[in-house]
Structure 1
Amino acid sequence: MENQEVPALAALFEQYRRCYGQPLAEHDAAEPSPAELLPAHGGRVAWRPFLRPEPGSFDNLGHALEMPVHASLTGLFGHYYAGHLPLCYKGLFVTLLQPWNSADFERLQQNQIGHQLMQRKLGLPATWFIATCRDEHRLVTLDNASGAVLLERLGKGAIGELAPDLATFLHRAEPVSL
């Protein structure tokens, strides 16, 4: 069965482009990305999602943490290099995270391990962060057991369920302009 997150993510990228043109990201010459297009004005660069020839894997996280990793995490982070995407989901403004290049993908994995270790230390269920919120004390996470998308308060756990699965979350999210 094909991962439903990948086409949902591709559709979201395309919806953003149709509504607002090519998205922009901060340009850093030391961190090039295959997603970069021609440099834009003011130190920003236009980008388009770059489909990786071989998807990135989170098997190393599962091995290091001695737990299975929900397949939706690979669906979201393993297939594209792209910039972060500003979205609105039922009135909640979030920034969907995306790895910019291979080094950023590795940092994302390290940060996910750190998040998971903190969850364990606090006795909270296993979740993976997928988006940030304007309120820095909240984040959007993927429940490792069910695959549901949750709104979580840092260090406190889930506030509530946003969507039953990641594909549904991506389909219902609306791109917004910065």
Structure 2
Amino acid sequence: MIDDTARALADFTQNYCDRWLSQCGHPPASSELYGLASPCVQQTVDEEVRWLPQPFTLAKNLENVERALELRIQPSVVAWYTTQFAGDMQTLVDNQPCTLLQVWSEDDFERVQENLIGHLVMQRRLKQSPTLFIATTQSELDVISVCNLSGEVILEKLGTKNRKVLAATLEQFLVSLPVIDPLR
């Protein structure tokens, strides 16, 4: 499962980068990541950074999250956050824009783990089953997550039990995503 998720993520990322190159003549660009150190940075132009994915150089685990909550994390989520350093990527889910969250740097990996812990603590307090977010939507209350019990990818409304299954696995979810035009 880890290798399948890692391969699907690497394939999506390569297609994403290829689309940027063919449409814009350069790697993916982000103004949000401007000024933030990362091994992904290829070039800085006009207050935006152009990036390419880089190998993940830390231990490939989420042990800090697991230890903090005494919870075994779905292997697919471990693969999601430890396959590569990359910028966040835009796509569509059910024809709605969303942003696939990625780890930008070693420092960002620490921040992501802290945010996952906070998310899981909130769910525990609300007596909800654990999920781990992997993408954001245009609505601040809706996130795309992986159910830690089943491994399903879901659209969930934060603070509620409203959940919609999007895919049986993270690999299936990734394979189903369109690579959209960057100029869209």
TM-score, normalised by the number of residues in structure 1: 0.92
Taking the TM superposition and a 5 Å limit, the aligned residue runs for 1:1-20 are 3-20=3-20
Q: Note closer, same or farther for the CA distance 1:128–1:79 as it changes in structure 2 (3 Å cut).
A: same
- The number of residue pairs the alignment matches comes to 176
Query: Greater shift after overlay, 133-142 or 17-26?
Result: 17-26
Matched letter for residue 143 of structure 1? C
Post-superposition CA distance 1:46-67 (Å, at most 9, x none): 1011112444320221111011
Alignment counterpart, residue 73 of structure 1, candidates 63, 74, 77: 77
Alignment counterpart, residue 34 of structure 1, candidates 39, 43, 54: 39
RMSD: 1.5
Query: Greater shift after overlay, 6-15 or 85-94?
Result: 85-94
Matched letter for residue 11 of structure 1? D
Residue 28 (structure 1) shift: 3.7
Instruction: Look up the SS of the partner of 2:125 in the other structure.
Output: helix
Contact 2:2-2:75 within 8 A present in 1 as well: no
Matched letter for residue 138 of structure 1? D
1:142 maps to: 146
Contact 1:150-1:158 within 8 A present in 2 as well: no
**Mapped partners of 1:57, 1:127: distance in 2:** 17
Taking the TM superposition and a 5 Å limit, the aligned residue runs for 1:157-176 are 157-176=161-180
1:52 maps to: 56
**Mapped partners of 1:2, 1:143: distance in 2:** 16
**Mapped partners of 1:141, 1:32: distance in 2:** 27
Contact 1:54-1:79 within 8 A present in 2 as well: no
**Mapped partners of 2:59, 2:173: distance in 1:** 21
TM-score, normalised by the number of residues in structure 2: 0.90
**Mapped partners of 1:99, 1:53: distance in 2:** 11
